[in-house]
Amino acid sequence: MYIPLHWHSTFSFLEAISQPKHIVKKAKAMGLPAIAITDYNGMYGVPAFYLAAKEEGITAILGVELGFVLDLKGTYLTKNIGNICLLAVNDEGYYTLMKLTSLANQEGIADKPKIDIAMLKAHHEWIVVFYGGLESWIGKMIISGEPEERILEMHEMLQEIFPEKCYLEIIAQDEELFSELPKVNQLLLHLARKTDTPCIVSNTYYYPEPKDKSIWEMALAIKDNVKIYDPSRRQPSGQYHIMTADEIREICLKNGYKAEQIEERLKTTLSIGEQTHTSLKFGQTLFPKYEASDLIKELYTQHKDTLILPLEET
């Protein structure tokens, strides 16, 4: 048993084709106790996902995947800007995620939403953070040849912000299909041992069933404005459906990982799921409460009778 913690829905615009209700039904059919949503740069899919999970009787883990850099004031090549995944532990964590998502969309780089270390220091309450894979900030640094000392420094900064809630992510894809994935996974494992950081395992999923991959590639082509028969279109290697624990094990064993290591990473996903408890409220309008100044209160007291118009007689 494990919990998929890294998932993109149709609300990751044309990057995935998973409807929240379909994903939840699939998770229920697989006997999963919980499942997470981590859409790119937005939390628009959270309400539908939460309600679908509640209806099916499984736990909805609410999250988001945002672009991440050391300092928004720095200069970065767009191709070298990677992502970070954040999960809410409770309601307060959910509100924090919404703050970070709003800030990311205000303070992006090259029109892409981004957060940095300073934002996470200011808004980190009740959040779990994890990262790994080719598109993560740490994966981008590894692929671009950044020194290990620099990568370690960034990782330790995040560990300091998220003590006991910082995880590394090992991607469960056939490493023979990727030129860079073995390098990224191995350095992550090296960092995990060096810094005593727990690891999770995920394949990162974008569609429910294996048969849906061709439809997903069609969505990618539409987003990139290329023809489906264009040889230069995105044709991702690997499988990105919701995998069973046995599928995860099979791939990881093929990649040369030990069975006990795989079980430990699967178990860690369960422990994260056990930490999360969010309860969204629906059917009511929520307005922020602003405290007026004493001057405004005094003016209101003096003039309230003239501010409220009487009802016309009919």
Q: DSSP letters of 12-39?
A: STTT----HHHHHHHHHHTT-SEEEEEE
In angstroms and rounded to an integer, the radius of gyration of the C-alpha atoms of the chain is: 22
The token pair at 130 is 């994890």
The token pair at 52 is 């679908």
What is the model's pLDDT at position 52?
95
What is the model's pLDDT at position 56?
93
Residues with Cβ within 8 Å of 41's Cβ and at least 6 positions away in sequence, in order, are: 64, 65, 66, 67, 101, 104, 105, 112, 113
- 12, 39 contact by CB (below 8 A): yes
What is the model's pLDDT at position 72?
82
What is the model's pLDDT at position 265?
96
What is the model's pLDDT at position 309?
56
What is the model's pLDDT at position 193?
95
Of 40, 98, 48, nearest to 68 (Cα)? 40
Q: Where are the beta strands (DSSP E) in the chain?
A: 34-40, 59-69, 82-88, 114-116, 127-131, 166-171, 199-202
The token pair at 282 is 């629906």
What is the model's pLDDT at position 305?
77
What is the model's pLDDT at position 17?
92
What is the model's pLDDT at position 313?
54
Query: Mean pLDDT, 10 residues at a time, over the chain (314 residues)?
Result: 92 92 92 94 94 94 94 75 94 94 84 89 94 94 93 95 95 94 96 96 92 93 91 90 94 95 95 91 72 85 72 54
- Sign of the dihedral through C-alpha 149, 152, 154, 160: negative
Q: What residue ranges define each of the domains in the chain, with the CATH number in brackets?
A: 20-284 (3.20.20.140)
Task: Supply angle C-alpha 258, 260, 263, rounded to 5.
Answer: 110
